[in-house]
Amino acid sequence: MTEYDIVVPVREGRVNQQLRYALRSWSANLPHRRVWIVGYRPPWVTGVRHITTRQTGTKYQNTTAAMRAACEHSGVSDTFLLCNDDFFVMRPQRSGMPVLHRGPVREVERYYASRGSGKYLRGLRETRDLLVSLGYDDPLSYELHVPMPIEKEGMMRALDVGRRLDVVHKRTLYGNLAHLDGDRIRDVKVLNRSPRGYGATDAFLSTMPDSFINGHVGRHIRTVFPRACRYEYPGRR
């Protein structure tokens, strides 16, 4: 099995306990070659590669800039695993990371429309409309909170195609343009302290800051990964 690099955009801020436990989970359960932090590297992180970026835009613009920086960097493997700093891999992925999607964008749109409007929903609709204009009549959503295999060339093409969108859904645009298909799962993001529907046997989890610090899911993650991994300076917080 070929091992790829992990790329994780990280926002500025000294305290990032979710990243600490994400790194522990990847070290234990997600086969990989190297970890690349794009953006801000906390002082307690060691053993990773680092690409600095300016974080002066919106969070969507900052993550797009991070993605482009990773794809343009010659040291990053041509195929890499895109992660966020709150993605936890709870079970070993011995055959590598599968391609996963959330189902048709139209179904995901209904879910977010029921919760109100906002930039994210607008970006979903604009990304969908762009894909429809390119001949993808019923595109899939890849906006899951799980690692996603990315090929640099294909992602650069997606970023160029979506460059006029203010809130481009990068994973979805890339996944459809690259004809990834994959297996459908529900999203694993745990929003609340006492959620319904998440299980201790889930292969992947993701959290909000509050559900990680104060919720059942956060306690579960911290219990599963109690020991420091090779990406942490001993004794540094």
Q: How far is CA 101 from CA 74, 111, 142, 176, 232, in A?
A: 28, 15, 5, 10, 31
pLDDT score of 200 = 66
- Domains of the chain as residue ranges with CATH: 5-224 (3.90.550)
- Non-local CB neighbours of 66 within 8 Å, separated by 6+ positions: 9, 38, 39, 51, 53
pLDDT score of 4 = 97
Q: Do 35 and 231 meet the contact criterion of CB atoms below 8 Å apart?
A: yes
Q: Which two tokens stand for residue 128?
A: 């969908």
Q: Which residues pair with 80 in a beta bridge?
A: 5, 150
pLDDT score of 198 = 67
pLDDT at 181 over 80: yes
Mean pLDDT, the chain, rounded, equals: 93
Q: How far is CA 62 from CA 67, 96, 183, 186, 227, in A?
A: 9, 28, 29, 26, 31
Higher pLDDT, 195 or 31: 31
Helix (H) or strand (E) holding 61: helix 59-72
pLDDT score of 14 = 63
Segment 115-127 mean pLDDT: 90
pLDDT band at 109 (very low <50, low <70, confident <90, very high): very high
pLDDT score of 201 = 75
pLDDT score of 194 = 76
**Residues 20-77 pLDDT 10s:** 999 999 999 999 999 999 999 999 999 999 999 989 888 899 999 999 999 999 999 9
User: What proportion of the chain, given as a percentage, has pLDDT over 90?
Assistant: 83
